[in-house]
Amino acid sequence: MPITGVVFYGYPTSSSHPAACHATDSLLQGVTRDLIHGRTGPRYVAGDFNQAPRSLLEVRQWEECGWVEIQIHASMHWGWEPRPTCKGATQRDLIYVSPELAALCIGVSVENMFADHALVKAQFQGLGFYLRSSPGMRSMLLPGMRPRWQITSGPAQALLFPVRVLGEVSLASDLVGHEEAFHVWWQTRRIQLQGSPGLLPPAVLCLEGIQRVYEDFHANFKSFEAWNGRARRDVLQHKHQQGREQVFRELRKDRSQTVDSLQFHHTHIVGDVDPDSHQVFLEEPVDSRGHSSWQLEGQPCRVTEVDGQLCQVVSSERPIVGQELTQRQIITSAADIQAEFARHWAAKWQRHAGVEVGFWRRALDFCNAYLPACSFDLPPLNIKTWNKALQRYKPLAARGVDGFAKSDLVNMPPPMKQELISFLSRIESGDADWPAQMLIGLIMNLDKEFNTLPRAPVFLAASRLGIPNFLIQAWDKFLGGLSRSFVVHGEAGEQILSSTGFPEGDPMSTVAMTIIDWAWHLYLQQYAPSSVPLSFVDNFSCMARDTAGLAQALTCTRSFADMWSLEIDGVKTFAWALRPASKRALKRLWLMLLKTWEVS
């Protein structure tokens, strides 16, 4: 019985191969395409994978096709306990077998004959009978092509021998193995060599004629063979891609569920008690929305007849002044959920609503002192520059905030393009406002850092850097008209305006963040020159030679954040050090330390 196999060696995880798992997966793609999907019969893949088998996507695809690792197969059938094969600790030397070969397995053993790796052995039976391990040419043909190509070059070659001996021979119209008249196919063949007869006569009188027929047919057959090979590779590649997509679907995390309810815990202090009616007066009003469960000093109770701060408490013991009445409230109404979201986010989105320009004096003075005074001119929009800009987008580029896809903009008629460009130019010049229909339904992936950036100093710094005023004016009007609403149970709540922040997903928001990053770099260069600032969008990082330099950079960063009214997330603030002495010094600054390699 022929057995097809592959011996494989994967990339080891080390500093030389930081992406060893991905590189090993890439090597196994050819095995999956040509051996797993492209062959049948007993097959195997063996070798030192250097990776945990479940960490490889290709191996998961093998298991979807019924392949199994030989020790796992023995464990499922005979209670074999899988043993480590690499340095007595991990299982990296693996033998994966196809379902056909797994059915013939009668024994598995692991022998420790070498220092680092064990020898994995598998025994099989029933290999005396014939089992075809690879498809023949007939089974590899695509549907619809078999009747046309069942003839091989054998009959044509055999015809040459009697012609050389006898000088002439009759050429039958139907050759053995061909299901239709050969002379009919001959008139419609794709490749026609120079000198070949256009029509086959009933008899071929010379060797030269037979030679030309054979060469012509051989050229057509080789062409078909090449085409069939390409088509087969495409089919296997498609099957391989389908298998990978199935693995990705299984590994993909479930989509987060929509908010259907909110839960709150309130603690009320009993301020006064009426001993006759058991009415209780609380220090804070009771929120009676939704459904609530109550506990009085940890014991369940019922609360009825709620009227502001006054309510009726029914419990096994009489309430006493100063006790805690705990309320567990669940809100399910869409309007109530939207109101809670609006209350929570309005404090962030409208934080700078009443702030005057003078509040930003420190930030503006710093910009005027250290930001370079630049200027650049933007040419007016026209159809030529518009089409040139569209060419830079990928075919599947995400839709913009206006809802247009790239294909919509590319295929837009020239008169409509000119109307759109003129409309945008009027907004830039201040002669028009953003229309309401361009604001309603804006889709954003919100991030808290973008939502807390101050607008006034960013616009002033942008003007200092030379961004044209008409662009800043249009930008400001867009943000001023931007409104948000929460969708709960398929219902949109009230629209909420904002005076703070820039929406994530808007390309201009990255410009605002870049201005903040640039200003922070200049601030540390002026006031903490011993540190090296690094930034990536909303992540600020810096390196220093000693603890004193890092502490100075931290203080300056906090001062910068106060100057620009930014919030530093203390939970996501970390420090790292390579020397134990520096780590001990950083702990005195109340900073969370990351685990790193210590260098003595």
- The C-alpha atoms of residue 199 and residue 509 are separated, in whole angstroms, by 73
Examine residue 190 and state whether it is found in any structural domain, yes or no: yes
Q: Which of 301, 332, 363 corresponds to the end of one domain?
A: 332
Instruction: Say which residue, 264 or 569, is predicted with more confidence.
Output: 264
Shared domain for 283 and 427, answered yes or no, is: no
Shared domain for 308 and 353, answered yes or no, is: no
Look at residue 440 and tell me whether its pLDDT is greater than 60: no
- Ranges of beta strands (E only) in 332-402 are none
Digit-coded pLDDT (tens) for 292-329:
999 998 889 989 888 888 998 888 888 888 889 999 99
DSSP state of 570: S
Q: Which of 298, 332, 366 corresponds to the end of one domain?
A: 332
- Domain span at residue 56 reads 4-124
- 3-class secondary structure, 409: helix
- How far CA 209 is from CA of 167, 186, 490, 575, in Å, comes to 11, 14, 79, 86
Mean pLDDT across 550-569: 85
Shared domain for 84 and 160, answered yes or no, is: no
Give the model's pLDDT for residue 471: 92
Q: Where are the alpha helices (DSSP H) in 124-206?
A: 137-140, 153-166, 182-187
- The C-alpha atoms of residue 170 and residue 316 are separated, in whole angstroms, by 115
- The C-alpha atoms of residue 550 and residue 559 are separated, in whole angstroms, by 14
Query: How buried is 576 (Cβ within 10 angstroms: 0-12 exposed, 13-18 middle, 19+ buried)?
Result: middle
Digit-coded pLDDT (tens) for 15-41:
777 788 888 888 888 888 888 888 888
Digit-coded pLDDT (tens) for 370-424:
998 888 888 888 888 888 888 888 777 776 656 677 888 888 888 888 988 888 8
Shared domain for 152 and 67, answered yes or no, is: no
Q: For 69, list phi and psi in degrees, rounded to 5.
A: -75, 140
Contact 136, 41 (CB under 8 A): no
Q: Which two tokens stand for residue 522?
A: 């200049």
- The C-alpha atoms of residue 168 and residue 170 are separated, in whole angstroms, by 7
- The C-alpha atoms of residue 12 and residue 335 are separated, in whole angstroms, by 56
- 3-class secondary structure, 488: strand
DSSP state of 437: G
Examine residue 464 and state whether it is found in any structural domain, yes or no: yes
Residue by residue, DSSP assigns 211-273 as: HHHHHHHHHHHHHHHHHHHHHHHHHHHHHHHHHHHHHHHHHSPPPPPPP--EEEEEEEEEEEE
Give the model's pLDDT for residue 249: 62
Shared domain for 420 and 506, answered yes or no, is: yes
The residues pairing with 301 across neighbouring beta strands, listed in sequence order, are: 294
Most confidently predicted of 232-236, 255-259, 464-468: 464-468
**pLDDT band of 127, cuts 50, 70, 90:** low
**DSSP H or E stretch at residue 23:** helix 20-31
Examine residue 222 and state whether it is found in any structural domain, yes or no: yes
Q: Which two tokens stand for residue 116?
A: 């680092």
- The C-alpha atoms of residue 465 and residue 463 are separated, in whole angstroms, by 5
Amino acid identity of 418?
Q
Look at residue 135 and tell me whether its pLDDT is greater than 80: no
Give the model's pLDDT for residue 33: 84
Give the model's pLDDT for residue 201: 76
pTM of the full structure: 0.47
Shared domain for 183 and 321, answered yes or no, is: no
* Range name among 26-35, 131-140, 220-229, 577-586 with the lowest pLDDT average: 131-140
Counting the structural domains of the chain, the total is 4
Residue 194: CB atoms within 10 Å: 6
Question: Which residues does 130 contact at the CB level (< 8 Å), separation at least 6?
Answer: 1
Strand 279-282 to 483-484 pairing: unpaired
- The C-alpha atoms of residue 433 and residue 438 are separated, in whole angstroms, by 11
Examine residue 277 and state whether it is found in any structural domain, yes or no: yes
Q: Which two tokens stand for residue 542?
A: 């810096």
**pLDDT band of 596, cuts 50, 70, 90:** very low
Q: Which of 487, 510, 533 corresponds to the end of one domain?
A: 510
Digit-coded pLDDT (tens) for 216-254:
888 888 888 888 878 777 776 777 677 666 666 655 666
Residue by residue, DSSP assigns 312-364 as: EEE-SS---TT-EEEEEEEE--HHHHHHHHHHHHHHHHTTTTT--GGGGHHHH
Examine residue 137 and state whether it is found in any structural domain, yes or no: no
* Range name among 174-178, 426-430, 462-466, 564-568 with the lowest pLDDT average: 174-178
Amino acid identity of 333?
S
Mean pLDDT across 486-515: 86
Query: How buried is 229 (Cβ within 10 angstroms: 0-12 exposed, 13-18 middle, 19+ buried)?
Result: exposed
The residues pairing with 252 across neighbouring beta strands, listed in sequence order, are: none
Examine residue 118 and state whether it is found in any structural domain, yes or no: yes
Give the model's pLDDT for residue 247: 60
Look at residue 538 and tell me whether its pLDDT is greater than 50: yes
Shared domain for 315 and 360, answered yes or no, is: no
- 3-class secondary structure, 301: strand
Most confidently predicted of 232-246, 461-475, 557-571: 461-475
Give the model's pLDDT for residue 400: 66
Give the model's pLDDT for residue 555: 86
- The C-alpha atoms of residue 560 and residue 562 are separated, in whole angstroms, by 5
Long-range contacts of 476-483 (CB under 8 A, 24+ apart): 477/427, 477/433, 477/434, 478/434, 479/455, 479/503, 481/433, 481/434, 481/436, 481/439, 482/439, 482/442, 483/439, 483/440
Shared domain for 381 and 459, answered yes or no, is: yes
Shared domain for 366 and 489, answered yes or no, is: yes
Contact 213, 200 (CB under 8 A): yes
Examine residue 273 and state whether it is found in any structural domain, yes or no: yes
Which one, of 520, 510, 499, 469, lies nearest residue 363 by Cα? 520
Give the model's pLDDT for residue 96: 93
Shared domain for 435 and 373, answered yes or no, is: yes
- The C-alpha atoms of residue 479 and residue 512 are separated, in whole angstroms, by 12
- The C-alpha atoms of residue 148 and residue 40 are separated, in whole angstroms, by 25
- The C-alpha atoms of residue 500 and residue 453 are separated, in whole angstroms, by 6
Residue 324: CB atoms within 10 Å: 12
Which one, of 120, 121, 103, lies nearest residue 1 by Cα? 103
Give the model's pLDDT for residue 252: 63
Look at residue 170 and tell me whether its pLDDT is greater than 70: no
The residues pairing with 291 across neighbouring beta strands, listed in sequence order, are: 330
Give the model's pLDDT for residue 138: 44
**Half-sphere exposure at residue 144, Cβ-oriented, CA atoms within 13 angstroms:** 0
The residues pairing with 327 across neighbouring beta strands, listed in sequence order, are: 266, 294
**DSSP H or E stretch at residue 390:** helix 383-390
- The C-alpha atoms of residue 28 and residue 34 are separated, in whole angstroms, by 10
- The C-alpha atoms of residue 177 and residue 138 are separated, in whole angstroms, by 12
Give the model's pLDDT for residue 557: 86
Look at residue 167 and tell me whether its pLDDT is greater than 80: no
- 3-class secondary structure, 62: helix
Shared domain for 359 and 324, answered yes or no, is: no
Shared domain for 46 and 71, answered yes or no, is: yes
Average pLDDT, the chain: 79
- 3-class secondary structure, 352: coil
Examine residue 120 and state whether it is found in any structural domain, yes or no: yes
Digit-coded pLDDT (tens) for 319-377:
888 889 999 999 988 888 888 888 888 888 888 888 888 889 999 999 999 998 888 88
- The C-alpha atoms of residue 475 and residue 500 are separated, in whole angstroms, by 13
The span from the first CA to the last CA of the chain, in angstroms, equals 61
